[in-house]
Amino acid sequence: MKPTADDAFEQRSRKVLDSSVEHLDGRVLSRLNRARHTALESATSATAPWRLLVPAGMAAAAAVAVVMSIGVGRDSREGSIPKTASVVLEDVDLLSDAEAFELAGGAEIEFYEWAAAQSADGVGS
Amino acid sequence: MATADGGSRPLARSSDHSKALDRFLSGIERRAFRIAQISLRDDDDALDAVQDSMLKLVRSYGARPEAEWKPLFYRILENRVRDVQRRRTVRGRVIAWLRPAVKDEADEDSNDAIENAPSDALGPSERVQLDSAMEALGDALRQLPNRQRQAFLLRNFEGMDVSETAIAMGCSEGSVKTHYFRAIHVLRVKLEGLAS
């Protein structure tokens, strides 16, 4: 197929653009090189800090929740240990102990109540 | 994981993945710079736009299939270029108006320079010739509507096919063809018409 005027222009303009990037000055090439390395380094370091922040953030959130809960439940009398605070602390203990949390969950409670009753009655001993 | 067919599956995080990203970025960085520089007319702004785009690609899309990197990269770059242009507009309309209009003289010499532009090692006169051709082409490109310029640079200079260009531009393949055809027509008339 015979090349059209558009084809010829496409080739000439591509040649100009290609030549212009073959002869970029050293400063530009150096900056491009640094930019590439910075980007590639970010690929390896990007995930690690984020993963470290998750547990740190959860711990901080839990601490804030505890402080706020104690503050809300504080008895007006100075120096006394409020009843609500001890309850909250028990809840925190429960939440922080995965095994205890599982034990406290759902229909299982009925089983543990029944087991305790059996034990108190001396069944199986 | 890298694939032999150019990457139809996501690459695993590995040294192969890093090497693939390095190869990709090395392969496009110069043309990306030139594309940004044509739009922004400033080397430092263009370099910043390319660096931001590299970071964004690696951090947000590095795990995507390798075949998607190029259109994604150029989409990010175009957004960066537009951000810079918007910031400039907000900051300094007055400064932009005060810029001297020096393009006419460059256009006078442009056509012959484009036709004879050298591509090998350059002597001083060839360097001048190339700079002159590039300036003329850059000026003509800057006068095009954004979409036409983008279609021309991605198709003609970066060598992307119609479907990749459509992804990079966020439009249909039909629109890419239309923008490209109009760009070629306008540029050819503008740059060749000056010689006759």
The confidence score (pLDDT) of residue A83 equals: 54
Measure B18 CA to nearest chain A CA, in Å.
7
Record the pTM: 0.63
Q: What pLDDT digit, counting tens, does each position of B67-97 carry?
A: 999 999 999 999 999 999 998 888 776 666 6
What ipTM does the predicted assembly reach?
0.74
Residues in B 77-136 with any Cβ partner in A closer than 8 A: 114-115, 117-119, 122, 127, 130, 133-134
The H-assigned helical ranges of A1-122 are: 5-22, 26-45, 47-73, 83-96, 98-103, 108-120
* Candidate from B18, B51, B119 with C-beta closest to A18: B119
In tens, the pLDDT along B116-143 reads 554 445 677 777 888 888 889 999 999 9
- Greater confidence (A119 vs A35) lies with A35
pLDDT tens digits, A40-90? 998 776 555 555 555 556 666 766 766 666 555 555 455 555 555 555 555
Closest CA to B117 of A47, A18, A75, A38: A18
Q: Does B16 touch chain A (CB under 8 A)?
A: no
Contacts of B188 in chain A (CB under 8 A): 5-6, 9
CA distance B64 to chain A (A): 13
pLDDT for B126: 77
Of the candidates B18, B117, B127, the beta carbon closest to that of A16 is on: B117
pLDDT in tens, B15-37: 888 899 999 999 999 999 999 99
Q: Are B70 and B24 in contact (CB under 8 A)?
A: yes
Q: pLDDT value at position B179?
A: 97
Length of chain B equals: 196
> What is the residue-averaged pLDDT of chain B?
82
Residue A65 CA to residue B66 CA, distance in Å, equals 44
Q: Find the Cα–Cα–Cα–Cα dihedral B157, B129, B98, B34, rounded to 10°.
A: 20
- Tell whether the model's pLDDT for residue B59 goes beyond 60: yes
Q: What is the pLDDT of residue B88?
A: 86
Percent pLDDT > 70 in chain B is 76
- CB-CB neighbors (< 8 A) of B129 in chain A: none
pLDDT in the model for residue B3: 43
**How far apart (Å, rounded) are the C-alpha atoms in residues A6 and B98?**
36
Which pLDDT belongs to residue A125? 45
Please tell me the distance from the alpha carbon of residue B93 to that of residue B99, in angstroms, as a whole number: 10
Q: What percent of chain B has pLDDT over 90?
A: 59
- pLDDT for A97 beyond 90: no
Res. A121 pLDDT band, cuts 50 70 90: low
- DSSP 8-state assignment for residue A77: S
Closest CA to B49 of A43, A32, A44: A32
Kindly provide the b/e burial profile for residues B74-96, where b requires at least 16 CB atoms within 10 angstroms of the residue's own CB: bbbbbebbeebeeeeeeeeeeee
Nearest to B114 among A13, A22, A43 (CB): A13
| Cα–Cα distance measured from residue B78 to residue B144, given in angstroms and rounded to the nearest whole number | 15
CA B67 to each of CA B7, B9, B70: distance values in angstroms, whole numbers, following the listed order:
5, 9, 7
Cβ contacts of B113 within 8 Å, gap of 6 or more:
B129, B130, B132, B133, B136
Nearest to A43 among B18, B50, B118 (CB): B18
| 3-class SS letters over chain B | CCCCCCCCCCCCCCHHHHHHHHHHHHHHHHHHHHHHHHHHCCHHHHHHHHHHHHHHHHHHHCCCCHHHHHHHHHHHHHHHHHHHHHHHHHHCHHHHHHCCCCHHHHHHHHHHHHHCCCCCCCCHHHHHHHHHHHHHHHHHHHCCCHHHHHHHHHHHHCCCCHHHHHHHHCCCHHHHHHHHHHHHHHHHHHHHHCCC
In angstroms, the CA A20 to CA B15 distance is: 32
Residues of A in contact with B30 (CB under 8 A): 21-22, 24, 29, 32
Sort out which chain B residues have CB atoms less than 8 A from A20's CB and list them: 34, 130, 134
pLDDT band for B166, please (50, 70, 90 cuts).
Answer: very high
Least confidently predicted of A111-120, B107-116, B146-155: B107-116
B106-119, pLDDT tens digit by residue?
A: 444 445 555 555 44
Residue B61's closest chain A neighbor by CA?
Answer: A43
The answer to whether the Cβ–Cβ distance between A21 and B43 falls below 8 Å is no
Using one digit for the tens of pLDDT, what is the confidence trace for A1-19? 667 778 888 988 999 999 9
